[in-house]
Amino acid sequence: MDALLSQYIDAYYLHLMVLIGINIILVLGLNIITGVTGQLSMGHAGFMSIGAYTAAIMSVHLAFPFWASLLAGATAAAAFGFLLGLPTLRLEGDYLAMVTIGFAEIVRVFFLNFEPGGKAVGLSGIPEHTGFTLVWTMALLIIVLNAKLLNSRIGRSFYAIRENEIAAEAAGINTTRLKVLAFMIGASLAGLGGGLYAHYMTYIAPQDFGFMKSIELLNMVVLGGMGSIPGAILGTIVLTLAPEMLRIVAEYRLLFYGALLVLLMIFRPNGLLGDIRWYDFKKRWFNKGVKTWPS
């Protein structure tokens, strides 16, 4: 399938599409933590690097089959998600954000000094197992599962925690367990994305997973519209392609990227799809009644 595609599609576009697929998996994970449950996490790249390094080390040093190492990466990340989820019981808002930043930085410094991971040089020679087909099959599967999850009892409890934690608790939701669960699901998706990334790029280094990577992922969630799956996907596509499109302006690329973020937030403060509800469209299209002024 991949061979067939590469005959018809330019390698560069194929590469971009694979990156979008991987980013969608990562962003949907962060979306569950930050967008849906409302726990500001600015250390998503930390989970991603745990998944990437675990999977890569198992493939390279221990010669595990690809699937097993991918699964191990996701599990390891989920375990750290559990650990990082625990402080959320006591911390909230920006204190939590700071803890997640600190966590990601500690993970990065750890891998900078981690012998089996090749220290600052990074780990190369990871077998290439990931291609367009695999990434997008996974991404579609995860989108569907995500939609199912968010519509379930658990997903609705997540939204309830975001909207009002005290009210959610009063309504009988075990907020503690659900917040930790949100962190675990989000982290495992990040770990999965990291594993895929490692087996696609065949080379990883600690600086790939720095603070800016976490910020980039957070931007995608917020830009698309908090907590909405179509929003997260759109945000991912726009912000993965934006730096590529901005290649025409060469070294001014990041300058425009920064300005773009500011402008988008000024003109679409709730994200691209944040305040659009399908319900409104339905009502507009199927409304046969007389138009009245909005009350």
Partner 1 sequence: MFLEQLVNGLTLGSSYALIALGYTMVYGIIQLINFAHGEIYMFGAFAGLFLVTLFDVNIFVALLGAMAFCMVLGMLVERVAYRPLRGKSSRLSALISAIGVSIFLSTLMALLRGTNTTRYPEILKIHTYHLGPLELSSLQIIILLVSALLMIGLQLMIQRTRLGKAMRACSQDLDAASLMGINPNRIISYTFAIGSALAAAGGVMVGIYYNAVWPYMGTMAGLKAFSAAVLGGIGSVPGAMIGGLTLGVLEILGVAYLSSSYKDAIAFGILILVLIVRPQGIMGQKITKKV
Contact 261, 224 (CB under 8 A): no
Dig out the tokens for 56 from the structure: 């890569």
How far apart are CB 207 and partner 1 at their closest, in Å?
Answer: 12
Distance, in Å, from the CA atom of 276 to the CA atom of 290, rounded to the nearest integer, reads 23
For partner 1, which is the closer residue by CB, 181 or 218? Answer: 218
In a 3-state reduction of DSSP, which class is residue 62?
A: coil
What is the end-to-end Cα distance of the chain in Å, rounded? 54
* Nearer CB in complex with partner 1: 74/173: 173
Of 63 and 250, CB closest to partner 1: 250
122 vs 127 by CB, closer to partner 1: 122
Q: Which of 149, 190, 273 is nearest to 22 (CA)?
A: 190
What's the closest the beta carbon of residue 136 comes to partner 1, in angstroms? Answer: 28
Least distance between partner 1 and beta carbon 282 (Å): 26
Tell the burial category of 226 from Cβ atoms under 10 Å away from its Cβ (0-12, 13-18, 19+).
Answer: buried
Interface positions with partner 1 (CB under 8 A): 40, 87, 90-91, 94-95, 97-99, 101-103, 105-106, 109-110, 112-113, 166-167, 211, 215, 218-219, 222-223, 226, 251-252, 254-255, 257-262, 265-266, 269-271
Name the minimum Å distance from CB 96 to partner 1: 9
Min separation Cβ 74 and partner 1, Å: 24
Distance CA 25, CA 99 (A): 23
The nearer residue to partner 1, 67 or 252, going by C-beta atoms, is 252
Query: Measured from the CB atom, is 114 or 136 closer to partner 1?
Result: 114
Q: Which residues pair with 276 in a beta bridge?
A: none
- For the bound state, the minimum distance from the C-beta of residue 171 to partner 1, rounded and expressed in Å, comes to 13
Burial 56-95 (b: 16+ CB within 10 A, else e): bbbbbeeebebeebbbbbbebbbbbbeebbeebeeeeeee
